[in-house]
């Protein structure tokens, strides 16, 4: 059962009560991510996410870790483009531990100068590791090429040049300005009482605990980006070529989002998808190939990733574009359509069998829709999509002049003759 309460200071409390579960997942979400950073701030949201685990007025970093480990729970966080989440998953009997730990780090982190310097080194290693992992790094390059100089294109971890400059005062000011009650959502799912959750959070986060941050709490996302098109080659001595190709797609609340889910599934959303079957299974031209959707508040894209040899890169690009062209031409069978629908609904339901996935589900619905979206409503939306809807979306989406292709590989060995013509 889903329930929502708004505290007097604007913090939203969400819960999905699952009486038969033995666990509880609790998250404190902030509607602030890397897209809300100025150029000189790139990476600061992610840095702050790390620092909140490095000590409070009551606990050292080691004590935070030890306390959660002592109950066999999980305590972690992540930063995304449009939000940051601090979360814990514990047995229901240890829910008070999760509440106390999360609210303590959220409100009372000390941002110790020595810890800042240690964590700065860790994040610089994280950035270097990403650049040494080409199948991940090409996605960062693709976002930079596609979104050009827009904050959505910049890496969530930031860049070494910006991370090196952040000071303790920068972190304190950013938290003061961005961690506002109107942007904070507390969500829990599992064996939890909504009334008890509200009472605890009102005591810890309500009233004057965050009252001083109410000013200037209006949510802003800035201008929408204009997506770029073209071919972008990035040279690096590698054994393979890693590539991402994409086109403008649907944003989070777009009326055609269900059609986009199905289109993505048919193209490259699993082992039975067209790209996997054609490029890996039939031709053996790639080990890893898949399509994916990236959706934000006001913009989105459909992308394809592939890793292949330099020798086969041109052929793989041609095959991807050809499959896009076939979809735009209406070459979609009824059996294929029904299989994609069943795959989507099945994946969604299986993915929501854990309390942490439910916690994320209800929060994302609140962030983007401002309300709960039931599994039945999503399933109905998927099943109501017609073949004509898919074809119309494919025709509007898969256009050569609007495609962007980013490639990472050793192009000094061989130059590529690439075409995006459908």
Q: How many CB atoms lie within 10 A of CB 394?
A: 24
Catalytic residue among 37, 49, 119, 323: 49
Q: How many CB atoms lie within 10 A of CB 74?
A: 14
230: left (phi over 0), alpha (psi -120 to 50) or beta: left
Rounded Cα distance between 367 and 221, Å, is 13
Whether 49 is catalytic is yes
SS3 of the chain: helix, strand, coil, percent, to 5? 50, 20, 35
- Per DSSP, the residues of 260-309 read HHHHHHHHHSSTTSHHIIIIIIIT---SEEEEEEEE-SS-EEEEEEEEEE
Buried b (16+ CB within 10 A) or exposed e, 134-156: beebbbbbbbbbbbeebbbbbbb
Residue with tokens 């929408």: 224
Residues belonging to the active site: 49
């Amino acid at each position: 059962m889903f329930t929502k309460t708004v505290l007097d200071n604007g913090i939203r409390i969400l819960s999905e009560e699952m009486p038969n579960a033995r666990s509880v997942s609790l998250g404190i979400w902030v509607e602030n991510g890397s897209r809300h950073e100025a150029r000189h701030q790139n990476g600061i949201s992610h840095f702050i996410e790390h620092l909140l685990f490095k000590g409070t007025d009551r606990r050292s970093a080691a004590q935070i870790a030890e306390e959660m480990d002592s109950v066999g729970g999980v305590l972690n966080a992540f930063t995304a483009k449009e939000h940051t989440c601090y979360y814990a998953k514990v047995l229901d009997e240890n829910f008070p531990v999760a509440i106390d730990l999360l609210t303590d780090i959220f409100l009372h982190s000390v941002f110790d100068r020595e810890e800042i310097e240690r964590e700065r080194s860790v994040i610089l290693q994280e950035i270097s590791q990403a650049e040494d992992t080409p199948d991940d790094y090409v996605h960062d390059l693709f976002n930079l090429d596609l979104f050009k100089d827009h904050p959505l294109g910049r890496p969530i971890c930031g860049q070494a040049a910006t991370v090196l400059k952040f000071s303790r005062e920068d972190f304190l000011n950013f938290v003061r300005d961005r961690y506002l009650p109107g942007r904070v959502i507390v969500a829990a799912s599992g064996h939890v009482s909504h009334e008890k959750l509200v009472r605890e959070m009102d005591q810890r986060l309500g009233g004057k605990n965050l009252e001083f941050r109410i000013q200037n709490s209006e949510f802003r996302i800035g201008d929408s980006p204009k997506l770029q098109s073209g071919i972008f080659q990035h040279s690096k001595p590698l054994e393979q070529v890693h590539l991402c190709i994409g086109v403008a797609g649907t944003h989070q609340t777009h009326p055609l989002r269900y059609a986009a889910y199905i289109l993505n599934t048919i193209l490259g959303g699993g082992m039975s998808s067209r790209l996997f079957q054609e490029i890996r299974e039939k031709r053996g031209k790639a080990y890893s190939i898949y399509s994916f959707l990236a959706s934000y508040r006001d913009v989105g894209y459909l992308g394809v990733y592939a890793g292949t040899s330099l020798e086969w890169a041109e052929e793989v690009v041609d095959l991807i574009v050809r499959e896009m062209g076939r979809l735009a031409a209406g070459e979609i069978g009824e059996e294929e359509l029904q299989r994609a629908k069943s795959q989507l609904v099945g994946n969604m339901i299986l993915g929501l069998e854990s309390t942490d996935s439910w916690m994320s589900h209800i929060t994302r619905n609140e962030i983007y829709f401002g309300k709960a979206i039931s599994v039945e409503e999503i399933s109905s939306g998927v099943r109501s999509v017609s073949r004509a809807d898919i074809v119309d979306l494919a025709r509007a989406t898969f256009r050569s002049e609007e495609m962007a292709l980013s490639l990472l590989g050793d192009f000094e060995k061989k130059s590529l003759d690439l075409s995006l013509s459908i």
